[in-house]
Amino acid sequence: GGISSGTSFYDRASTVYYPFNLEAAKAALASIGLKDTDGDGFLNFPKEKLGGRNVEITLLVNNGYATDKSLAEGLVGQMAKLGLRVVINSLDS
Residues 6+ positions from 92 with CB-CB distance below 8 Å = 62, 63, 64
Domain containing residue 56? 41-93
pLDDT on residue 49: 83
Q: Looking at the domain assignment, is residue 1 inside a domain?
A: no
pLDDT of residue 10 exceeding 60, the answer is yes
Q: Looking at the domain assignment, is residue 34 inside a domain?
A: no
C-alpha 81/C-alpha 93 separation (Å) is: 30
Q: Looking at the domain assignment, is residue 4 inside a domain?
A: no
pTM higher than the cut 0.85: no
Tally of structural domains, the chain = 1
List for the chain the helix, strand, coil content (%; round to 5). Answer: 35, 20, 45
> For 47-76, what is the mean pLDDT?
90
Q: Looking at the domain assignment, is residue 3 inside a domain?
A: no
